[in-house]
Chain A
Amino acid sequence: MRIEVRNLSKAFSGVPVVRDVSFTVEEGQLVALLGPSGGGKSTILRIVAGLEDPDAGSVTLGDRRVERVPARERGIGFVFQHYALFPHMTVADNIGFGLKVRKQPPGEVARRVEEMIALVGLQGLGERYPHELSGGQRQRVALARALAPSPRVLLLDEPFGAVDAKVRHDLRTWLRRLHDNVGVTSVFVTHDQSEALEIADRVIIVHHGRIEQNDTPEGIWRGPANAFVAEFVGATNRIAGRVAGDEIDAGFLRHPRPAGLEDGAPVLVLARPAEVMLHPVGEDESPARVHRISFVGHSMKVEVEVPGHGTLTAEIPPAVVRAKELVPGRPVRVTLSAAQIFPSDTTPPGTITTAARRQGRLSSLFSRLRRARA
């Protein structure tokens, strides 16, 4: 069922958390709300579910306005970050709860529970209690419980937030396959960009309570709407520069100038580590020096120090590192195979920062504090 959110706003004790948010989820889509913790995405999801009241704006499910309808009458399924299973009920009772409270006949409940247990692959565990299950199994129970009453919309709040990395990876592909089988319109919240880009049909990036971009995963990856989005999806090198003729001049680095920028305008150049290219040069040809090389699995992480500017991070295949004889202390010239360039106003040319990452960590700390206080 189609979900339409219009001009949604919400503040908690005077602090705006959601600001004038509008988006549409088409029937049958799997959409990700992606953003740093504390950005308001969970609140948006909870408003759609009816667990929070919006201060302003509308929520339409299908063709019914629901923002004043209680959660239990919205026909949604909700999966909570920490599962929120009923601790004193068996797996089967958990899954059957939504049918039982709707006064379905016991035979029908039992049939549907069996069906759901098979759907999520938990055969033989129906009589277990939640505390006897692993994290991944609990998450499957939570999903089966949400799906059992045949909701028209499925909402998932950080569905893989509480399981370990390996299980997390398996669960996300499994969720995509499940979505394709069941076909229920779904929205999930995540702060993990790889998770969102991998399984969602569309990704809505939320930051400071606003939508920064609403696009397909590829659209977001290739054409981030602004510096925040670019950084959030991996462009962690931030270099301030200035438009100079056909190029962008960032002091130690030059890059072709994109269309639509005035000469002399200050810009921000954002590049993913894999887009940073290093070329060994003679001692006086470049100020940049390889600082440290570390192994990160499929590639090597090379940190490059640019005196007076900061540190850049490059990701380079091990074979290339060997071929170019990159070793700590080696002078290198830096080029970018690709970059995202945005107009900027403040930062002096050449400065490299990683401010957004630090900010992200801080805001997640704040949101944790807020939750602890609530």
Chain B
Amino acid sequence: MKLGGRLGKLLNAPGFHRPALRSLALGYLLILVILPAGGLVWSALAHGPVVFWRHVVQPEALAALRLTFVVATATALLSALLGTVAAFAMTRFRIPGRGVLDAVVDLPFVVPTAVGGLMVFALYAPSGPLAGATSALGLQILYAKPGIVLALMFVTFPFTIRAVQPLIEGLDLAVEEAAATLGATRGQTFRWIVWPSIARGVATGALLSFARALGEFGTIVIVSGNLPYKTKVASVYIYGEVESGRPESAAAVSLVLVLLSAGLLLLSDRVLHRRRRGRRVPVVETGSLGAAAEGRR
């Protein structure tokens, strides 16, 4: 990095970089994260904790929070499970068009969430291609929890796959073969050999999915119908409160969501790190296959 003139001299002077970078990072954090968070806390607690609490335990707010928690949990579990299976299928089997498939996985990252919601809506809408099948089975998808969870699974689809895939690629196939020659069944091999190596990835995928599901707005607002007490999730509720001129109520529910997310983040960090220290999870040894996989990545 060569900069001309006085500014360049100043920036390149020894001892300048570190403090400069540090204050830049801190300033960035302050302006973009801490200040807004502080603003939220301030507006949620502006009229004291009692008012805050009253806003939170309002029946409609409570129902929205409960619904959010339920669908986020369901999404996290399903996404983690199906994502792990998909990651295995994509790394272990020779699927034609694997490259295309690999690119499609990231689609939910780049598609606007409203469009994602619309995709689910179009599929299950009364005029959509699956409407007949679902109504024949007596399933209510749109304007109900299954629709919300489906929409959330679309959004969180890449998380577990991307967290688990590199771990599976890093597994040495010879290790699983060793287990087989020692008499282990496929199930035993998975339980004792594969699972310990990928568990952290699965947990990471589940946590990311949960956090994302907690805050998702764009997809849900389209598929859920937003019926108070029934299908209105917390983020939609917050939007509604702001629109209706009740920002303190919106802030109170928001603060609960923030605390939930932050608590989860701390918890996950703790769990994952404690395991790393306590069980001394070693650098996974890669044999020739592992090394090859490494190279491919």
Instruction: Give the interface of A toward B (CB within 8 A).
Output: 49-51, 70-74, 76-78, 80-88, 97-98, 101-102, 129-132, 145-146, 149, 371-374
Residues in B with CB closer than 8 Å to A70 are 180
A77: nearest residue on chain B (CB-CB)? B181
Q: Which of B10-18, B28-36, B171-179, B212-220 contacts A (4 or more CB under 8 A)?
A: B171-179
Residues in A with CB closer than 8 Å to B179 are 86, 97, 101
User: Do B181 and A81 touch across chains, with their CB atoms under 8 A apart?
Assistant: no
Residues in A with CB closer than 8 Å to B134 are none
User: What are 27 pairs between A and B in contact, CB < 8 Å?
Assistant: A50-B180, A51-B177, A51-B181, A72-B180, A73-B183, A78-B177, A80-B174, A80-B178, A80-B287, A84-B172, A84-B175, A84-B178, A85-B285, A86-B179, A87-B197, A88-B197, A88-B281, A98-B182, A98-B184, A102-B183, A129-B282, A131-B285, A146-B182, A149-B182, A371-B288, A371-B289, A372-B292
- Assembly CA distance A82 to B184 (angstroms): 20
Size range of the chain B interface in the assembly = 20 to 34
Check B192 for interface membership: any CB of A closer than 8 A: yes
Number of A-B contacts (CB under 8 A): 101
User: Do B183 and A82 touch across chains, with their CB atoms under 8 A apart?
Assistant: no
User: Do A97 and B184 touch across chains, with their CB atoms under 8 A apart?
Assistant: yes
**Further contacts, 16 of them, CB under 8 A, given A101-B184, A149-B183:** A74-B181, A77-B182, A82-B174, A82-B285, A83-B285, A83-B287, A84-B177, A85-B175, A86-B178, A87-B283, A87-B285, A97-B182, A130-B282, A145-B178, A146-B181, A371-B288
| Shortest beta-carbon distance from A138 to chain B in Å | 9
From A87, A102, A145, A374, residue with most partner B Cβ within 10 Å: A87
Check B135 for interface membership: any CB of A closer than 8 A: no
Instruction: Sort A-B residue pairs by CB-CB distance and give the 8 closest, nearest first.
Output: A82-B287, A98-B182, A84-B174, A78-B181, A131-B282, A372-B292, A84-B178, A101-B184
Q: Mark B177-219, 1 if CB is under 8 A from A, else 0.
A: 1111111110010001100110000000000000000000000
Given contacts A87-B197, A371-B288, contact A98 B183 (CB under 8 A): yes
User: Do A101 and B288 touch across chains, with their CB atoms under 8 A apart?
Assistant: no
Check B279 for interface membership: any CB of A closer than 8 A: yes
